[in-house]
Amino acid sequence: MVDDSLIPEIDIVFDGADQVDSQLNMIKGGGGALLKEKVLHSGSKALVITAESFKYVESFDRSVPIEVHPFALYMAQTTLESEHEGKPELRMLNEGYPYVTENGNFILDTVFSPIGDVEKKETELKKIPGVIEVGLFTKRANLYYKAKDDGSYKPIEFRPK
């Protein structure tokens, strides 16, 4: 747990990613903490991401977690389907209950056809009423580590254009 008053004082955050595309955008939130992760990323002075080599892809090919307020669940689902050509699925626990984030919200794991402009898609999805946060992370890390099967790693430094 992080004391939220200390967030602006964080020098460096080390984190993982569910997928990293060729433009170094990320999908995160497989563990359900996408809101807190995005806040920590935004508040830190430096960000380092590590992920196994198979998680580095040309373009995303997995679902995007979308955290939704329970009151807006149905509306968000239908909007994702009708206006964004998404296929949302409510994240469920093995016991048959919906997964509830530590913020009391639900997660819609949503599959989209290839996402061309990830930053635009992130902005569009966040405009849906009731959407709290989306698992598209377009803020680039300062450094990425690609972990290889042999235990070695390859550093990838982000250099803004």
Averages of pLDDT over runs of 10 residues in the chain (161 residues) are 67 94 95 91 91 96 97 98 97 97 96 94 97 95 93 82 57
Starting at the edge strand that comes first in sequence, how are the strands of the sheet with 64-68 ordered?
87-90, 106-111, 64-68, 131-134
Q: Say which of 9, 37, 85, 102 is annotated catalytic.
A: 37
Cα 145 to Cα 51: distance, rounded to the nearest angstrom: 6
Containing H/E element for 121?
A: helix 118-126
Q: Which CATH class is domain 4-157?
A: alpha beta
* pTM beyond 0.85: yes
Is 102 annotated in the active site? no
pLDDT tens, 50-84? Answer: 999 999 999 999 999 999 999 999 999 999 999 99
For the chain, the structural domain boundaries read 4-157
